[in-house]
Structure 1
Amino acid sequence: MTAPWRDTMRRALGADGGRDGVPMLLAVCDERPNRAAADEDRPADGRAVADLLDACRDALAPSARDDDLGVVITLLATVARHETEQIGHETQTDHEAGPA
C-alpha cells in the first residue's frame, strides 16, 4: 500500500502549481440550526476523507508527530492529488462511455 501513496505524493509535490493548478481538499460545515441533522451524507463524506488521510499517513509517515506541519501539508497535498486523479479518471471514463 505504501507504493501507490508514495507515487501520488511524488506527483503532488512535483507538480507545477502554475501549470497544473493546486489540488485542494475543501470541507464545509453548515452551522445553521437544523442543517447538520438534515444532511446525513456529510458525516459519511467527512469520515471518508479522514479515512483517506489516515491511510496515507499510515503508509507515508506512521511515526510522524501530530503537530509536524510539514507532514500535515504533505498528507493534505497527497490526498488532494489522489482525489483529483480519481475525479479525473471517473470523468474520463464517463466521456469514453459516450452519451447515455
Structure 2
Amino acid sequence: MAEYSGMSNGVQAALDIGATDLVISLGVSACKKESLMAQLNRHRELVARLKSVKYLHAVREYNASADLLATEALENKASNVISDEPRLAELKSLNRIQAVI
C-alpha cells in the first residue's frame, strides 16, 4: 500500500512542478488485492496526464532510501515529507538508483 501511495504522490508532485516525462523505479509485483485497485487506478489516471512514463525495476539494494521511507510510513501509519537537510543527505547516501537508470 505504501508503494502505491508513494508512487502516486510522486507522480502528483512531478505534475505539480510541470513535469511531462517521468521515470519510475519500482519492484515487480502484480496488484492482487482488491483493496489496492483504487490506488492503482488513481496512479493510472495521474500518469495518463504525462507525455511519457517509463517504469524500471530496481532491487532494494539500489533503492534503500525508498525502502526505508516506505517502511517508516507503514510503521507510523502516515506519510511524511522530508525537508530536513541532514535527513535528505542520509537518504541520498542510501540511494544507488542511478546505477540502474
How high is the TM-score relative to the length of structure 1? 0.28
Larger-Rg structure: 1
The structure richer in strand per residue is 2
Q: Which fold has the larger relative contact order, with Cα–Cα distance below 8 Å and residues 6 or more apart in sequence?
A: 1
